[in-house]
Structures are given as structure tokens and as C-alpha cells.
Structure 1
């Protein structure tokens, strides 16, 4: 009983630390940009904004905060959390430390849908819808082929099929880039595929947060069952968990989170791979705790990455470049720390 109370107390401390990191990242993100703003002014404007009124002198600053930076910050938090939740869930059900949200082709499929929409000059809402549908379709193709090749809950068949389907959709994207006008559509397609939050609006957030709730809530409710899957299908069945059904539900929810993220912000790598490992390193292997911590850390990480993307140089850097620069060395360090267990 004492050990359980101590563990519960430690979890509360970890939640408090991670929550403080997220709050600090949230406030810092408002201060980053070409428009100079102090913390006192920010807090004052946020307080005035809750009351629905602000003075004439602060109206321009309020416009920057609430119309430009706020939707971008909310998107960064939501996408970072979504990708981290999806990555944590995939690593649990596949029992594979290299599993990430794009494992089954969601990112490549969504990228293809968006590239196709950009090629045919669709409006932004249509592009996002095409990206989301194509991402879901890619994972559906992976799941059907994987189960046809090896019926049951074989994770190896799904993973290998996902690699093939991802490569296929990447080839389709290459065809679109090859046929696109190099002076018109091609730069738009390339920049979108690199990922970015510079064009996020509140209307984008309406779509995304609906999909976020649909994908994230079931995973949070079922997160204790993910612990059972980590021991294998037979052990999970002995504990009363239907491994095949849980795997299917997790794949659907994680795909919704990934496809909706790619649909509004492009392909952002490494978040769903690195953050779950960091959360486990800091808070243990219990998915009831790890999923929550991954959500918080993922939101803070992408906020800080976006701050770096829009402040390092005068012109904005695609956010996937920042996440790769941070994520790749960090993952190498983690592999080095686990070297004894990899042999």
C-alpha cells in the first residue's frame, strides 16, 4: 500500500512538471515572432480578451495574439498531442519501439491526397478533406492486404504491408510532383509536404479538434488494455482482452489522429516516434501514465519546434526540418542508452 501511494505521488509530481513545461511553452509561443511583446503585456491582453474588450492601443497586439498566433499555438499543441498519442498506441500494440504514426501509410496517403488537391487547385477545405480520406484509405488498404496475407492479428504482416503501401503512395506523390508546374503548383506541393503551421485558421481547428476527440478519447478510455497487448495476444486473451478487436480499434483511432494532423499541417515527422520513448523514459512503461505524459510532452515539443521554425531565420523554416534536427540525434542517444538491451 505504501509503494502504491508513493508511486501515485510520484505520478502527480511528474504531471505537475510536464504541465508546467506545457504552460511555459504556451506562454513563450505568444512572445516569439516579429511583433515584440512582453510577458506582462501578453498576460494583460489575455485577461482583456477573456472579458471581450481591450483598449485601442492594444487592439493591434490583440489581433496578432488572437487571430494569428492563437490558432497556430492551439494547432501545434493539438497536432503534437495527436501524433504522440498515435505513436504511443502503435508502439504498444505492435510491441515495436520503431513504430510511429506513419507506420501503416497514413502520412503518405494523406500527403498524396493533399498533393492531388493542390495539383487540381482545390480550395483548402477540399484539400484537407482529400488528405484525410486518402490517409484513412491508405491504412485501410494496409489492413486488408496484411490480413489477407496472414489472417489474424499478425503484426509483422501489417508492418511490412504498411512499408509497401507507404512506398507506393510516396511514388504517387513523386508522379504528382513530376507533372506539376515547376513555377506554380510544385513549390506549393513541396512546401506543404514539408509541414508547417503558418496558414492555420480557426476553421482548420474546428475540423481537427472534432477528429482529435474521435480518435483520442477511445484510446484514453482503453489505455489500460494496451498494457495487456504488450505481453502478446495469448496473454491478453487470458486477461480478458480481445487482442484483434483492440488492435483494430487502436489502428482506426491512431489513423484518425494522424490523418487529421497531416490534413491541416502537412507531414511532420519524429514527434510520434521520439516523444513516446521520452515519456516512458521519464515515467515508466505503464500506458495508463505514458499516454497522458506523451500527450502533454508532444504538445509542448511541437510548440517549441514551431517557435524555432519561425524565429531562427527571417523566413520561416518548415517545421518537419526542426523536428528532424531535434528528433534524430535524440533518438540516437536513446538507442545508445539502450544498447545493452538491443544485443
Structure 2
């Protein structure tokens, strides 16, 4: 909440934080009006939808990263492993190519992400007995296929009209945030986040392996499918309103585990809180550090890439065995 208030106050038109708090409380309680109409317009109409959308997307993507890393027992796993981001990106750029409206953009990205998940699960069912391996391979193949189609669309797009819009959207941005988009993102994200929170103790069981899970009476395939569907819903919802925002699901859960340990009953809810604050900070930087707004996908990659390298170095023995052998 402190990060959100600071984000609402910071910008080219700064507003005192105490006025921000009074302004927000004044929407519910009958407080004396001590702020200007211009301040209210900037805060409530422009910045508040961005902050709410950043909190919603950051919390959802961070939790999906924590779930994926536990389910696949791989510290480098994230939602991109399912190919859902690429599928949602394809659905979005397809609507942009045909010049359809914002509702079509959101719908196209959402259904593109769901289509990618359906393809991955269909591939995984072709080889019984190796669900994790087939999901990873299926996600890699489906993601590459949709990414190739995204590249094809950017190649054939009009370089003067459609291409700049497509490229900017693919970089990820909250510049067009609105309360309508907050509602649209909340429809798939909030139920999926609630289900993942409700199943967080079962995520601990899945991280032990399928044999141990079955030994204590848990059906890992069913729980895994429910969690993966939640991951797909969150990812598709986020991409549909903000474009492709990468690295959040990889960086935040590891930062949380450094502080609270490996228990997913704590990791998941704290990852949601930290992820919400993290993306609010990134979005605030994107609109304040330069005259032209920087896409948040660029900033998350700049921060996430060095962290990824450090993660590879610190986990090299766990991932590939001893490099000294």
C-alpha cells in the first residue's frame, strides 16, 4: 500500500502523499475537499488504473512463477514454459493487424493463450507416464510455433501504420490502462490466484515428486492440471491487457524464497504481495525516468537478465551436476 501511494504521488505532475490518502478516503467517507480538481483527475483517472492493473498483473505473474517452479521442481521454470505467453501474443497481434478494437485485442490475446494451453495438454496426453516431460516439450514446441507466427505477422504488417503499434504492444506497457481493463484482467486473474492460494499446501506435496504425492493420497495429475490452468488464465489475462511482461515470475519468487524459505504456504501469498509492489515500481520508473515512456517489458528484462545469470551460476550444480567433474 505504501508503494501504491508513492506511485500515485510521483510523476510529471506531483501530488502530496497526504492528499493522495485523503483523496482515496474521500471516495468513501465524507471528508473535506482539500485537493484540486486537476489533482483528482490525474490521480483517479490516470494513475489509479495503472497502479491497480500493475498490482493485479504483478501479483498474478509472481504467483504463477512460484507455482511453476514448485510443480516442475526447476528453479528456472516460469509461465513461458507453457507457451501461453506466445499464444496470447499471437492472438493480440492478429487483432492489431486487422485493426480491431480494444475489446477484440483483449479477447484475441486471451483465447490465444487458452488455445496454446489446450495444444500443450493435447501433446502431453500422447505419451502417458511422463506428464512433466511432455508438458515441457509441448510448451517449447507450441511456444516456438506461436512465436514464429508472431514474427510472420510483424513481417507482413504495414510498417507505417500497424507495425509500430504491434511492436510497442509486444514490449509490454500499461500506458493504456483503464478501469475497464482492470475489470477485464480481474475476471481470469483473481479466481485463478484464489485457487492457487487455496492449493498452496498441495503445491508443497507436488514439489516432493509424484510418487510421494500418491503415497499420501494426493492425485498429482489432477492437481497439476488445475494449477497449470490457473497459470494459463493469469498469463493470458495479463498479456491481454498489458502485452508481454516477462521475468516477473522468475525474479520475484526467488527473492521471496531467499527471505522466507521454501514453504509454498508462505512463498505464494508473499510472492503475490512482493510481485504487486515490484511491478508498480517498474511501471512508475517506466513513466518517470525519461521524457518518453519506456515499455515495462524492457525494464523487467534489464533487471531480470542479470538475476537470471546469477541464478544459473549459483544453481549450476543442481541444474547440471558438478561442473568440476
Q: What is the TM-score of this pair, normalised by structure 1?
A: 0.90
Unaligned runs of 5+ in 1: 1-22
Give 1:120-269 correspondences, 5 Å limit: 120-148=98-126, 150-269=127-246
Write the distance in 2 (CA, Å) between the matches of 1:254 and 1:184. 34
Deviation at 1:45, TM superposition (A): 2.1
Aligned to 1:67: 45
Aligned to 1:104: 82
Indicate which of 286, 289, 292 corresponds to 1:309.
Answer: 286
Deviation at 1:97, TM superposition (A): 1.1
Indicate which of 291, 294, 319 corresponds to 2:268.
Answer: 291
Confirm whether residue 47 of structure 1 aligns to residue 25 of structure 2: yes
1:177-236 CA distances to partner (integer Å, 9 max, x unpaired)?
A: 111110000100000000000101111111111211221111111110111111111110
1:64-106 CA distances to partner (integer Å, 9 max, x unpaired)?
A: 1111100100000000001011111111111111111111111
Unaligned runs of 5+ in 2: none
Q: 1:278 to 1:180 in 2, by over 3 A?
A: same
2:22–2:31 Cα contact (<8 Å) kept: no
Deviation at 1:340, TM superposition (A): 5.6
Aligned to 1:9: none
Deviation at 1:52, TM superposition (A): 6.6
Q: 1:338 to 1:96 in 2, by over 3 A?
A: closer
2:3–2:280 Cα contact (<8 Å) kept: yes
Write the distance in 2 (CA, Å) between the matches of 1:301 and 1:251. 23
Write the distance in 1 (CA, Å) between the matches of 2:110 and 2:5. 31
Write the distance in 1 (CA, Å) between the matches of 2:114 and 2:235. 9
Write the distance in 2 (CA, Å) between the matches of 1:229 and 1:47. 43
Aligned to 1:114: 92
Count of residues paired in the alignment = 320
Deviation at 1:176, TM superposition (A): 0.7
Deviation at 1:169, TM superposition (A): 0.4
Indicate which of 11, 26, 29 corresponds to 2:7.
Answer: 29
Q: CA RMSD in A?
A: 1.6
Write the distance in 2 (CA, Å) between the matches of 1:311 and 1:330. 24
1:45–1:54 Cα contact (<8 Å) kept: no
Write the distance in 1 (CA, Å) between the matches of 2:8 and 2:130. 46
Q: 1:52 to 1:188 in 2, by over 3 A?
A: farther
Deviation at 1:332, TM superposition (A): 2.6
